[in-house]
Amino acid sequence: MSESSESKPTYLREVKITFKKKRVKNDSPVGESVNSPEQIVELFKDLQNEAKEKLIAICLDSKLKIISFEIVAIGSVQSIYARPFEAIRSAIALNATGLIIVHNHPSGDVNPSEGDRKFTSELKDITDKGGMQFHDHIIIGADSFFSFSSAGLL
């Protein structure tokens, strides 16, 4: 072994989870069980004003209370790329028992694209195999929303 390789330090990355607080309105469903897509839409309705698509994962505990949320990906005006596994990484790290996905369509049209349907189906398979409940995938548009769960697609 050469001297230069002996004196060169080796590093290993350590994962550290930190939380950042986000102020929400007083009547937001934080601390309450999430029982409807309307509660999530109310909490994340600012997405309707975004110029780019954003994909957010909402982690839930066993009583359907929100533990945290993570902005998983930011895309373009008409698309976003994220692997389904990326959407559950924080849920796994936090030992969440449930997951809700929410994203926006800047066009205002809340009808799910073929990509939205495929992503939802793949995410459902992953969460089923991992023992996590995938409660909903909600698309927020200009003045309306689409819920995969309400539409019977989950």
- Strand segments, DSSP code E, in 61-131 are 66-74, 98-104
**pLDDT the model gives residue 152:** 94
82: closest CA among 48, 42, 122, 109? 122
CA distance 53 to 154: 22
**CATH ID of 36-147, from 3.40.630.30, 3.30.413.10, 3.30.420.40, 3.40.140.10:** 3.40.140.10
- Which residues, other chains included, contact 3 with Cβ-Cβ below 8 Å and sequence gap of 6+? none
**pLDDT the model gives residue 15:** 72
Angle between helices 84-93 and 114-130 in degrees, nearest 10: 40
**pLDDT the model gives residue 13:** 80
pLDDT, tens digit only, all 154 positions of the chain: 555 556 888 888 877 767 666 666 666 666 788 999 999 999 998 999 999 999 999 999 999 999 999 999 998 888 888 999 999 998 998 999 999 999 999 999 999 999 999 999 999 999 999 999 999 999 999 989 999 999 999 8
